Amino acid sequence: MRDPGVVTGVAGPAPAADRPRGLAGDAWRDLRRSRTFWIAAVLVALFLVMAAFPALFTPADPRACTLDRQYDGPSGTAFFGYDFQGCDTYARTVYGARNSITVGILATLIAGVIGLVVGLAAGYLGGWADAVLSRVVDVVLGIPFLLGAIVLARRLSQNASDDGVLAVVLTLGLLGWTTAARVVRSSVISAKNQDYVAAARMLGAGPARLMMRHILPNSVAPFIVVLTVLLGANIATEATLSFLGIGLQGDAISWGIAINESGRFVRSAAAPLVWPSVFLALTVLAVIMLGDAIRDAFDPKLR
Amino acid sequence: MTEIRAETDVLPGVDRAAPLLEVTDLHVEFRTRYGVAHAVNGVNFRVSPGETLAILGESGCGKSVTAQAVMGILDSPPGHVTGGEVRYRGLDLLPLPEEQRRRVRANRIAMIFQDALSALNPVYTVGFQLGELFRVHRGMSRRDARKRAVELLDQVQIPLAKARIGDYPHQFSGGMRQRVMIAMALALDPEVLIADEPTTALDVTVQAQIMGLLAEQQRQRNMGLILITHDMGVVADVADRIAVMYAGKVVEEAPVHDIYARPAHPYTRALLESIPRLDHKGGQLNVIRGLPPALDAIPAGCPFHPRCDYAQDACRHDPPPPYAVAPGRTARCHFWREVVGDE
Amino acid sequence: MSDRADVVLETRGLVKHFRSKVGAVRAVDGVDLHLRRGETLGVVGESGCGKSTLAKLLVGLEKPTAGEIGVRGQNMAALTGGALRRARRHIQMVLQDPYTSLNPRMTVGDIVGEPFAIHPDVVPRRGRLRAVQDLLDTVGLSPDHANRYPHQFSGGQRQRIGIARALALKPEIIVCDEPVSALDVSIQAQVINLLEQLQDEFGLSYVFIAHDLSVVRHISDRVAVMYLGKIVEIGDDREIYEQPTHPYTQALLSAVPVPDPRLRGRRDQIVLSGDVPSPADPPSGCRFRTRCWKAREVCAEQEPALQIRDRSPHPSACHFAEVRDVLHSG
pLDDT tens column, B230-278: 999 899 989 999 999 999 999 999 999 999 999 999 999 999 988 888 8
**What pLDDT is attached to residue A112?**
95
Residue C187 lies in a domain: yes
**What pLDDT is attached to residue A162?**
66
pLDDT above 90: percentage of residues in chain B: 31
- Which residues does chain A have within 8 Å of residue B290's beta carbon, measured at their own beta carbons? 4-5
Give the span between the Cα atoms of A301 and C104, in whole angstroms: 8
Q: Does C278 touch chain A (CB under 8 A)?
A: no
Exposed, middle or buried: residue C2 (CB in 10 Å: 0-12, 13-18, 19+)? exposed
Three-state DSSP state, B325? strand
The size of the B-C interface in CB pairs under 8 A is 129
Residue B193 lies in a domain: no
User: B312 or C22: whose pLDDT is higher?
Assistant: B312
What is the chain B residue with the closest CA to C153? B291
- Which residues does chain C have within 8 Å of residue B204's beta carbon, measured at their own beta carbons? 46, 211, 213, 252, 255-256
- Smallest CA–CA distance, residue B168 to chain A, in Å, is 27
Give the span between the Cα atoms of C13 and C198, in whole angstroms: 31
What is the chain A residue with the closest CA to B303? A4
Residue C233 lies in a domain: no
- Complex ipTM: 0.85
Low-confidence ranges of chain C (pLDDT < 50): 1-2, 330
On whether both C31 and C74 belong to a single domain, the answer is yes
pLDDT digits (tens, 9 = 90+) for C82-136: 888 888 889 999 998 888 999 999 999 999 999 999 999 888 888 899 999 999 9
On whether both C58 and C150 belong to a single domain, the answer is yes
Residue C236 lies in a domain: no
Q: For residues C180 and C188, is the Cβ–Cβ distance under 8 A?
A: yes
Superfamily of domain A42-62+84-302: MetI-like (1.10.3720.10)
On whether both C118 and C264 belong to a single domain, the answer is no
Domain encompassing residue B306: 240-343
Q: Which of C204, C197, C200, C163 has its CA nearest to residue C183?
A: C163
**What pLDDT is attached to residue A5?**
38
Q: Does B171 touch chain C (CB under 8 A)?
A: no
Residue B142 lies in a domain: no
How many CB atoms within 10 Å of residue C195?
Answer: 22
Element (H, E) at C196: helix C185-202
**What pLDDT is attached to residue B280?**
78
Domains in chain C, number: 2
Give the span between the Cα atoms of B217 and A228, in whole angstroms: 58
On whether both C199 and C278 belong to a single domain, the answer is no
Cross-strand pairs, B47: B21
Phi/psi of residue B82, each to 5°? -105, 0
Residue B247 lies in a domain: yes
Q: Does A3 touch chain B (CB under 8 A)?
A: yes
Q: Taking 60 as the threshold, does the pLDDT of residue B190 lie above it?
A: yes
Q: Testing the interface with C: which of B173, B284, B285 to mutate, by most C Cβ within 10 A? A: B285
Decide if A5 and B291 are in contact by the 8 Å CB cutoff: yes
On whether both C192 and C50 belong to a single domain, the answer is yes
On whether both C249 and C210 belong to a single domain, the answer is no
Q: Is the dihedral of CA C154, C157, C159, C162 positive or negative?
A: negative
Give the span between the Cα atoms of A98 and A93, in whole angstroms: 10
Decide if A204 and C85 are in contact by the 8 Å CB cutoff: yes
- Which residues does chain A have within 8 Å of residue C59's beta carbon, measured at their own beta carbons? 202
Give the span between the Cα atoms of C128 and C134, in whole angstroms: 10
The mean pLDDT value of chain B amounts to 87
Q: How far, in whole angstroms, is CA B199 from its chain's centroid?
A: 12
Three-state DSSP state, B92? strand
End-to-end CA separation in angstroms for chain C? 35
On whether both C16 and C55 belong to a single domain, the answer is yes
Residue C14 lies in a domain: yes
**What pLDDT is attached to residue B4?**
44
Decide if A10 and C107 are in contact by the 8 Å CB cutoff: no
Q: Which of A96, A110, A117 has its CA nearest to residue A156?
A: A110
**What pLDDT is attached to residue C195?**
95
On whether both C132 and C270 belong to a single domain, the answer is no
Q: For residues A99 and A252, is the Cβ–Cβ distance under 8 A?
A: yes
Q: For residues B22 and B46, is the Cβ–Cβ distance under 8 A?
A: yes
Q: Is the dihedral of CA B113, B115, B118, B122 positive or negative?
A: positive
On whether both C176 and C122 belong to a single domain, the answer is yes
Phi/psi of residue C45, each to 5°? 165, 165
Find the CATH number of the domain harbouring C98.
3.40.50.300
Give the span between the Cα atoms of B151 and B149, in whole angstroms: 5
Three-state DSSP state, A150? helix
On whether both C14 and C141 belong to a single domain, the answer is yes
Closest residue to C152, CB basis, from A10, A201, A205:
A10
Cross-strand pairs, A5: none
pLDDT digits (tens, 9 = 90+) for A73-127: 777 777 787 877 778 888 888 888 888 888 899 999 999 999 999 999 999 998 8
Give the span between the Cα atoms of C62 and C14, in whole angstroms: 12
Pairing relationship of beta strands B21-32 and B35-47 according to DSSP bridges: antiparallel
Q: What is the dihedral of CA A57, A60, A63, A68, to 10 degrees?
A: -140
On whether both C215 and C253 belong to a single domain, the answer is no
Domain encompassing residue C273: 245-316
Decide if C259 and B232 are in contact by the 8 Å CB cutoff: yes
- Smallest CA–CA distance, residue A39 to chain B, in Å, is 25
Residue B207, C-beta contacts closer than 8 angstroms, at least 6 positions apart? B199, B234, C255, C257
Q: Is the dihedral of CA A82, A86, A91, A96 positive or negative?
A: negative
Core vs surface per residue C57-76: b (16+ CB within 10 A) or e: bbbbebebbebbbbbeebeb
On whether both C257 and C206 belong to a single domain, the answer is no
Domains in chain B, number: 1
DSSP letter at C276 equals P
Element (H, E) at B52: strand B52-56
pTM of the model: 0.85
Q: Testing the interface with C: which of A18, A202, A216, A299 to mutate, by most C Cβ within 10 A? A: A202
Decide if C261 and B272 are in contact by the 8 Å CB cutoff: no
User: B260 or A9: whose pLDDT is higher?
Assistant: B260
Q: What are the residue ranges spanned by the domains of chain A?
A: 42-62+84-302
